[in-house]
Amino acid sequence: METFKLENEPKIKTGFKTPDSYFDDFSAKVLGQINEKEIKVIPIYKRKEVIAMFVAAVIVIALMIPIVNNYTKSKELDEATLETYLSYQSNINQYDLIRELDTKDIEAINKNVVLEQETLEDVLSSSPNIENLISE
């Protein structure tokens, strides 16, 4: 394969030519065109559309405040939801839960739990694994 030398190949003419003395007064023409156009500036506070958009935005924000406020309130977990969550966690057992309780929690549990004799008998009689319940 022959080596390609750029200097030896014939040059292709572009077909574009600038007129003679085009760049002599080019900067004067450009500056003249810039100074001719006077741009009319309208302050933003005088435009009716901008004022209407501002009023609409304020109304939308005012209407959204109660909606956002309702969604951001923290809702406390009820006991059933918490119990269901803990029962489906396979890596948590009763001993882990007991270990996390402090004396204040134990006292609160003792005040809230009232066992009646009949209820206790019903649970023990209906439970198929009574030995496990007795041993615990």
Q: What is the pLDDT of residues 76-135, one digit of tens each?
A: 777 788 778 877 876 777 788 788 888 888 888 777 677 788 887 887 778 777 777 667
79's tokens: 């006991």
How far is CA 89 from each of CA 83, 99, 109, rounded to the nearest angstrom?
10, 17, 22
124 within 8 A of 133, measured Cβ to Cβ: yes
The pLDDT value given to residue 61: 93
Closest listed residue to residue 82, CA positions, set 72, 71, 70, 97: 97
Cα–Cα dist 130/132, whole Å = 5
What is the arithmetic mean of pLDDT over 16-39?
78
Q: Which is it for the CA torsion 99, 100, 106, 110, positive or negative? A: negative
pLDDT value at 74 more than 70 = no
Closest listed residue to residue 134, CA positions, set 97, 100, 123, 101: 123
Q: Which residues contact 124 (CB under 8 A, 6 or more apart)?
A: 130, 133
Strands (DSSP E) found in 18-133 = none
51 within 8 A of 42, measured Cβ to Cβ: no
pLDDT averaged over the chain? 78
Q: What is the DSSP letter of 46?
A: G
